[in-house]
Each structure stands twice: as C-alpha cells, then as structure tokens.
Amino acid sequence: MPGFHGLFIPGPTNLPFDVRQAMDVPLEDHRAPDFPTFTLPLFRDLKQIFKTEKGQVFLFPASGTGGWEAAITNTLSPGDRVLIAVFGQFSHLWADLCQRHGLVVDKLDVEWGEGFPLDKCAERLAADKEHKIKAVLVCHNETATGVTSDVAGVRKALDAASHPALLMVDGVSSIASIDFRMDEWGVDLAVAGSQKGFMLPAGLAIVGASPKALAAGKTAKCPRCFFDFADMIRTNKDGYFPYTPATTLLRGLRASVDSLLAEGLDNVVARHHRLAEAVRRGVTAWGLTLCAKEPKWYSDTVSAIVVPKNFNGDDVIKVAYHRYRLSLGAGLSKVAGRVFRIGHLGHINEIMVLQALAGCEMAMRDVGVPVEAGSGVAAAEEYIRSTAPKLKLGKVA
C-alpha cells in the first residue's frame, strides 16, 4: 500500500530523512586517527542539549534502561538508600532495577495520573537527619500515563533540607523535547534515549553526569564494567571509546543534534507544547479525558487518553493499526486496556498531529466509542490555525 505508516507511539519516533541519510554510510574504523575530529565536537554539542557546561555526557550502546543502570552503578553501593516516586510503569521499572542491584528503595506510591509528590519528598528529606538517602530518582516524563513532573521543584526540596543526596532524572521521553536544564536544576545524573526526542532508532543511552556524580564514582561499590564511567572518561577525552561504539547511530546523532540546535532548543520546546495542546483540544472535543489528573501534569510528548467504561483501549489500537495503518501506544500495567496513547514528539508537525487525531476518531467510532466524526480534528485545527504565524498575502489585481 502506498504512503507512510502513521507512527504515533511515544518511541521509537519518526525518523527524519536527513538523519536516515546520515546513517546510510559505509561502516568505518572507530580507531582511525581522524575519528576524534567527529566525536569530540559531538560530545561538546550534546552538552548543549542537556544544558550543562559543568557535566559530561556519555554515549552507551544501550537503551534508556542501560542509562538507568549506568547512573546508579557508577554512583551508589549495595545497601545505599534511594528515594523514588512510583506513578507509572517506567518509574516502577527503575525502582525494580535499583532493588536488583541491592539498593534499599524507599517508594513514594502515587496514584497513576499524578506526578512526583514534592510535599512528600520534602517531608522524607527533612526527616532524614542522618542523610541515609543517597539519591532521589525522578521520572521527568512518565510515558505510561502522559505525566510530566517538576524536576526543579525536587531540587528546591533537596536544597531546603540541605540534603546532599544525588538528583537522578529519567529524561528518556523529555530531553530534546520538553524543557530540561541540567545545571540550573542541579541534576546530577540525566538519562536520555536515542529513540525519542533525538529522532533515532533505539540503541543509544545518552547519560549526563555532573561533577558531583563523577566524584561519587570514586567510592561507589556497585559492580560495573560495560557501563563504567571511568573507562569512558579515559578514552572519551581523546575521542575514542573503550569498546566498539555504534558508529552508524553516532552519525545519525550528529545529524539530529545539528537539527535540534538549528531549530533552537526553545523553539523545539515551544513546538512540542503547541502540538501537544492541539492534541489535548481534540481529546476535550471528543468528550474524553487524559490519564493525567491535572493540567500541571500534562505531558508535551505523549497523551494517554482514557476510553469510556465498557470499552477497551486495546481494541482502538488494533483497529487503528489494521484498518488505518496507524500505530498508537498501548496502556501499560495498571492502565492496560483503560487508555490508548498518542506520541507527539520528535520529528512531527501540525499535519501529522491532525493525521493521528483523524485516525483515532475513525478507530474509536469503529469500536463504538461515541465520538462525533471530525470533532477532535476540528478543535485541533482551530487551535493550530489560531496559533500559526501570520502571513502577509498579496492582493489579486
């Protein structure tokens, strides 16, 4: 069938042509004398995406999960205590990973649809007079529920308690899409993945580490080899890697970073917010609600839409896929069957958002969800039109 399959899951995201072309190259010698002329500027420019001057960014051939593992194993020791709020599938998985590494995990269980609870975090930190908590882990954007949390607020809670714990952030579905400021917010470890805002295939864990985090590695006792920052530091300084890097993905990453910097990070953030708001206007016009409980939690990269009672979100997804060649995200764990998700991040524009909404409308109507044909698309159209740049049109004689 002609045309493109509509990819609107929250990752992997759509692949820009220039990024694809950048990866369509012969395999290369990663030990070549001139390889550092490519890698050293890439390391430097990635720091701009993370908004850090003080930190160092590492590139591992892995997924975001590998980035989580790198963050904790390079800074913590078995028996160390970490504080994490669990309010979705990915924050749950990060907590599980910590437990498997022998860390003591203090969980703040939060209703799915809400974000990181700053008040409860502040209470725990204030009560921890002996500073047994060694790290606070925050899922910046919980992809399962479409919820974004206030990372800067967590830093304020740490500072208010004069607490020395490391601040670790899962930014897999936020960095390069949603406003993220590593230095300004005092983030010590930040984890991103190539398949989200960086608009690449899966396969790179991109990890930012502050000087404080790097110093913690000198005493951390968690076993590590593949993810050892020390090995990376020793070889990255000369533009090389301690093992064979994913050179093809690195070439794509160069093109992606160039694209992000050319658009301007503030513009990237504004574009994501505008397109996300268009989706939210469409959802409201359908008479449906988001999994995110309040506007302050709304994500600008993924919307989890609650289907009415007696309907199954998985049915909407199946119909959209098989009848209309449209891929939507499924509900995970506690929200399985209750929601379907629209990913609106990365290489995306106004027409693509309208395409997703139109496909969702048709699929929902096919399974019997009572939405009016064209209602969501129309609402999104009006918002997009009202916020589009004004053009000066010439008069016809």
Residue 394 has a pLDDT of 83
Is the model's pLDDT at 345 over the cut of 90? yes
| 258 and 269 housed in the same domain | no
Is the model's pLDDT at 104 over the cut of 90? yes
Residue 392 has a pLDDT of 86
DSSP label of 371: -
| 241 and 279 housed in the same domain | no
Is the model's pLDDT at 1 over the cut of 80? no
Q: What's phi and psi for 106, nearest 5 deg?
A: -90, 115
| 190 and 309 housed in the same domain | no
45-79 pLDDT, tens digit per residue, is: 999 999 999 999 999 999 999 999 999 999 999 99
311-329 pLDDT, tens digit per residue, is: 999 999 999 999 999 999 9
Query: How many of the other CB atoms lie within 10 Å of CB of 111?
Result: 10
Last residue of a domain, one of 219, 247, 262: 262
Q: What is the pTM of this model?
A: 0.96
163-180 pLDDT, tens digit per residue, is: 999 999 999 999 999 999
* CB distance 231 to 220 below 8 Å: no
Placement of tokens 């993370």 in the chain: 50
| 34 and 114 housed in the same domain | yes
| 326 and 195 housed in the same domain | no
CATH value at residue 218:
3.40.640.10
| 222 and 345 housed in the same domain | no
End-to-end CA distance of the chain: 44
| 160 and 274 housed in the same domain | no
| 151 and 110 housed in the same domain | yes
Q: Most distant CA pair in the chain: distance in Å?
A: 80
CATH value at residue 340:
3.90.1150.10
| 196 and 116 housed in the same domain | yes
* CB distance 149 to 140 below 8 Å: yes
Report angle CA 192, 194, 198 to the nearest 5 degrees.
Answer: 90
Is the model's pLDDT at 118 over the cut of 80? yes
3-58 pLDDT, tens digit per residue, is: 999 999 999 999 999 999 999 999 999 999 999 999 999 999 999 999 999 999 99
355-393 pLDDT, tens digit per residue, is: 999 999 999 999 999 999 999 999 999 999 999 999 988
| 337 and 250 housed in the same domain | no
- Cα dihedral 125, 128, 132, 134, rounded to 10, equals 10
- Cα dihedral 332, 333, 336, 342, rounded to 10, equals -20
Which tokens in the block code for residue 79? 């028996």
Which tokens in the block code for residue 251? 């070439």
Residue 215 has a pLDDT of 98
The amino acid occupying position 135 is A
| 174 and 279 housed in the same domain | no
Residue 367 has a pLDDT of 98
Task: Please report the sign of the dihedral spanned by the C-alpha atoms of residue 133, residue 135, residue 138, residue 144.
Answer: negative
Is the model's pLDDT at 397 over the cut of 80? no
| 86 and 218 housed in the same domain | yes
Task: Name the β-bridge partners of 209.
Answer: 56, 189
Domain span at residue 324? 6-11+265-387
| Distance from chain centroid for Cα 277 | 18
Is the model's pLDDT at 237 over the cut of 80? yes
Task: Please report the sign of the dihedral spanned by the C-alpha atoms of residue 315, residue 321, residue 324, residue 326.
Answer: positive
Residue 396 has a pLDDT of 78
Residue 265 has a pLDDT of 98
Residue 249 has a pLDDT of 98
Last residue of a domain, one of 262, 290, 305: 262
